[in-house]
Amino acid sequence: MGIINLRIPMDLCYGSMSLFLTILHNVFLLYHVDMFVTVYKIDKTSFWIGETVFLIWNSFNDPLFGWLSDSKYLSNSVSTTQDIVMQRLNKLSINGPLFTLTFLMFWFPWGYPWLQFIVCLCLYDTFLTMIDLHHSALLADLAISSEARTKLNAKSSLFSALGSASVFLSYILWDKSNFTSFRIYCVCISVVSLLGFTVMASAMKQSYAKEHPMATRKTECHERHEEAVIPQNRSILVFIKQLMKHKNFKYFSVMNLIQVFHCHFNSNFFPLFLENLLGGYSSGLGAFLIGISFLAPHINNLYFLSLCRRFGVYNVINLLFFVKLLISITMFVAGPKHIWLLCLFVASNRVFTEGTCKLLNLVISDLVDEDFVLHKRKKAVSALMFGTAALVSKPGQTFAPLLGTWLLALQTGHEIFQQGSSVSGLNAEITSPNPLFLDQQRRGIFNMLVYVPIVCASLQLFIWSRFTLKNDRLKWVKSARSGAEHSIV
């Protein structure tokens, strides 16, 4: 039985999940490394070992959890879409509160720094992945039409923008000499998040159960017999072979790999670009640009989603790739001397790139539909598709710093780690009193800033042109899935 009895629209419940995730995750992204390095004084070796363990776990937990969640749906079990939705909501109601507790583990010392670092990272990412996987999968399970999915995505973007406000207040309270206020703040937002996940998951289950009265009874029946439906060992091999023949999934995966690389490239080197290209303006202006880069993509996504409803997701993403290429070429021609144009480019490059990333869940949802139709499945394997897509794209996170540091050395002639583990080594070189040397270094970093989006956008435009799940084919796929599910139910 639910703990509340409120009639809250499903789209508001779905979108609010992003709020309760974002208010914690943005704080985590900004401060967890600083906390362990400067406060807990973790040594460099332990830090890199922890990051390596996290990288391995982070790369494989998406498909692992997707397989554990959806592998049974590849067999001829009795579950319907209604059963699957209720099971996803049950998992959100469990993993949401656990996620908030793992967030708190970062800010209070309870063990050796190296042990706390590894345990906290892996536990945090475990529950973050579970929430993200099932929340994303619900996008494909709750709605089939593009209009309904963009509406759900729009609510998520709106609530994510609200959740970004936690960053501004946390910045005010962050004080390395006295963590009392910051820790109280973390406890407060954790309580808000915990209550939010609990209440909204319960509200979604009640609302969905009212719309589909047989779903709850079927889910309980299915859970009692779930152990009897054991997928054969060959199911995973069959699924992999099917994906290998799924051309649109392959084209999307390559495009998404490039997109993830570009997003993380921007994040990894954003401070470097600001410090070395804005000169004396970098202090106040840099803080403003960083703040905007967190908030603007969510707000901008609301506009992009309205375009998706009018012109289709494929065309909007194609337009964003073209705009990225156009502004990068324009900036390359203009050169690094126009500070305000450079600021506009740095901000817009990140906003457009992050904005594209936020539309890709809609494409994966369409691929779930196509997979359902092509392979005549009884049930859509949404979490498995989202998890597999994440597995293929995760290497982009690793390639970004590796290729970025290589390009930096190639363009400037200096390694980023020459004088330490931060950009201070490069900064020491770039502040040389020799104007010719300084201009050469700034030009090298500027080239790195514009070359990457030009190459990424060009490759993405070519690959995306091969993607055929659009227009008439997309309409046919959605019609076929809708008809098939009605016949099953």
Domain of 204, CATH number, reads: 1.20.1250.20
The CA distances from residue 280 to 73, 283, 285, 431, 446, in Å, are 58, 7, 9, 12, 16
Which of 25-29, 74-78, 260-264 has the largest mean confidence? Answer: 260-264
**Cα separation of 252 and 364, whole Å?**
8
Q: Indicate whether 262 and 299 sit together in one domain.
A: yes
Average pLDDT over the chain, rounded to whole?
A: 78
Q: In the 8-state DSSP scheme, what is residue 413? A: S
Closest by CA to 106, choosing from 181, 190, 165, is: 190
The two tokens of residue 128 are: 């973050």
**Domain extent for 211:** 1-231
Q: Are residues 265 and 175 in the same domain?
A: no
Which residues, including other chains, have CB under 8 Å from residue 188's CB and lie 6 or more apart?
none
C-alpha span between 111 and 116 (Å, rounded): 6
3-state SS, residue 185: helix
In this structure, are 209 and 333 located in the same domain? no
| Residue keyed to tokens 């997109």 | 259
- Whether residues 65 and 170 fall in one domain: yes
Q: Per the structure block, which two tokens stand in for 234?
A: 């060959």
Q: At what angle do helices 282-311 and 313-334 cross, to 10 degrees?
A: 150
127 and 268 inside one domain: no
How do residues 373-414 score in pLDDT, each as one tens digit? 888 877 777 778 888 888 888 778 767 777 877 777 777 766
- Sign of the four-CA dihedral 424, 404, 275, 40: negative
Same domain, 38 and 90: yes
Shared domain check, 276 and 423 = yes
Do 327 and 308 share a structural domain?
A: yes
- Which has the minimum average pLDDT: 217-226, 231-240, 245-254? 217-226
Look up the pTM and report it. 0.74
Question: What's the total number of domains in the chain?
Answer: 2
Domain's final residue, options 187, 202, 231: 231
> What pLDDT, on the 0 to 100 scale, is given for residue 213?
62
The answer to whether 237 and 74 have CB atoms below 8 angstroms apart is no
Last residue of a domain, one of 231, 255, 281: 231
Q: Is the pLDDT at 425 greater than 60, yes or no? A: no
Ranking 61-75, 189-203, 347-361 by mean pLDDT, the lowest is 61-75
**Domain end among 231, 249, 271:** 231
* Residue 351 burial (CB count, 10 A): 20
Residues 192 and 187: their CA atoms lie apart, in Å, by 9
Q: DSSP class of residue 417?
A: T
* Residue 5 pLDDT greater than 70, yes or no: no
